Amino acid sequence: MKATKKMSLAMQIFIALILAIIAGLLMGNHADFANSYIKPFGTIFLNLIKFIVCPIVLFSIMCGIISMRDIKKVGSIGLKTVVYYLCTTAFAIVIGLAGGNLFKGMFPVIATTDLTYEASEATSFMDTIVNIFPSNFLSPIVNANMLQIIVMAILLGFAIILVGEKNKQVVSAFNDLNDIFMKCMEMILKLSPIGVFCLLCPVIASNGAAIIGSLAMVLLTAYICYFVHALVVYSITVKSLGGMNPVTFFKGMMPAIMFAFSSASSVGTLPLNLNCTEKLGADREVASFVLPLGATINMDGTAIYQGVCAIFIAACYGINLTLPQMMTIILTATLASIGTAGVPGAGMVMLAMVLTSVGLPVDGIALVAGVDRIFDMGRTTVNITGDACCSIIVSNLERKRTAR
Ligand code: ASP
């Protein structure tokens, strides 16, 4: 009974995705209609997801930590997670830079004389670090600042473990709250097929022509790199470290993958990702810690996009990036991915930081801004797949460690 239910949601999302593409292409000349009357329903759906995501991150990380009952265990999971995230992200940029260089000859050279791009205040690396720590108990939730919510959850989780037996009631109250928010999320997720349709259709209607337009080669390069990274890095690591057949992994991840592709939001996909990875066998305590963290700091797809775009923008300005410059990009893009929020368009803002680090004009972002959403759909898909892969791997490694 359960299996048919699961299949049906995945199938519904898939059908919605296909219908959105067909409807979007048919509506090519009426993009205004799609944007005025279809997109708002997508926005309502995203709003509901945003509404639920803060309590989900707070309670799932906190309850995940409490259920481990041991600060050392949290440390061990945290370390494995962060090492996996940083290594795969650095690898992703290398793939992005390699792909960019390989296909550079086929990139269009667009005149850069009239370009302007208003970069929002670039956050320096040190600012990013400082901003992780909340100065107010409520503001992280009010402003939906995920990194600060994670710090809060870790602090509270540790404190609850340290207070020990005395606080049984608090623990059970938090677990109950966690269950309630999860139920709420399940209810919202039932609407995902409608959400997927209403989010994707306007994007296709407004960008359909642009896809086949001048940036097709750059988009194609990014998508080839997304595929290579997902197929090579995730297949190999999920098999060797996670002990799972990659086909089973990708199959089980399909609902989350389709949702990420349509919504372009890692944070928005978090509830569905938790669902998929648990069904795939990730431990709840691990997934509820690893996934919210990943949705906030692990952005492999974004890193690939930044590598490809840096090469493309440099080429348009007639600049050839040197090896040291590429090394700098690897470093800054890895750090930038930590500061990138898991919401649509965030990666493009962080591209400014990457370009600046190697002296490329930030105005160049204007070259890719028009089709950012198309880049974003692919990079978000890679981002959440990387998070899921990590939760399977860490679950497996922890199981082995405790079995020893
Ligand atoms: N939209 C991406 C995400 O949610 C972030 C980005 O813009 O690169 O993962």
Summarize pLDDT for 46-83 with one digit per residue, the tens: 888 778 878 888 888 888 888 877 888 888 899 999 99
**Among 237, 269, 243, CA closest to 254:** 269
341 Cα to the center of ligand 1, angstroms: 7
CB of 372 shorter than 6 A to ligand 1: no
pTM: 0.83
Q: How confident is the model at residue 374 (pLDDT cuts 50, 70, 90)?
A: confident
CB of 306 shorter than 6 A to ligand 1: no
| 98-109 tens-digit pLDDT | 999 999 888 777
Q: Which of 53, 343, 381 to mutate to test the pocket of ligand 1 (most atoms within 8 A of CB)?
A: 343
CB of 340 shorter than 6 A to ligand 1: yes
Region 166-177: what's the mean pLDDT?
Answer: 88
**Among 292, 276, 328, CA closest to 307:** 328
Ligand 1 atom closest to Cα of 305?
8
| 270-321 tens-digit pLDDT | 889 999 999 999 998 899 889 988 988 899 999 999 999 999 999 888 888 8
Percent over 70 (pLDDT), the chain: 92
Integer angstrom CA distances of residue 161 from 56, 63, 157, 234? 20, 10, 6, 34
Q: How confident is the model at residue 1 (pLDDT cuts 50, 70, 90)?
A: very low
What does the DSSP assignment read for 144-183? Answer: T-HHHHHHHHHHHHHHHHHHGGGGHHHHHHHHHHHHHHHH
CB of 380 shorter than 6 A to ligand 1: yes
CB of 346 shorter than 6 A to ligand 1: yes
> Would the pLDDT of 110 be above 80?
no
CB of 264 shorter than 6 A to ligand 1: yes
62 Cα to the center of ligand 1, angstroms: 24
| 6 or 136, greater pLDDT | 136
> Would the pLDDT of 120 be above 70?
no
Q: How confident is the model at residue 5 (pLDDT cuts 50, 70, 90)?
A: very low
**Among 359, 361, 333, CA closest to 347:** 333
Q: Which of 272, 376, 385 to mutate to test the pocket of ligand 1 (most atoms within 8 A of CB)?
A: 376
> Would the pLDDT of 123 be above 50?
yes
**How many secondary structure helices (H) and strands (E) does the chain include?**
19, 0
171 Cα to the center of ligand 1, angstroms: 33
The residue count of the chain comes to: 404
- Whose Cα sits closest to atom 1 in ligand 1? 344
Ligand 1 atom closest to Cα of 264?
1
What is the residue-averaged pLDDT of the chain?
86
> Would the pLDDT of 347 be above 70?
yes
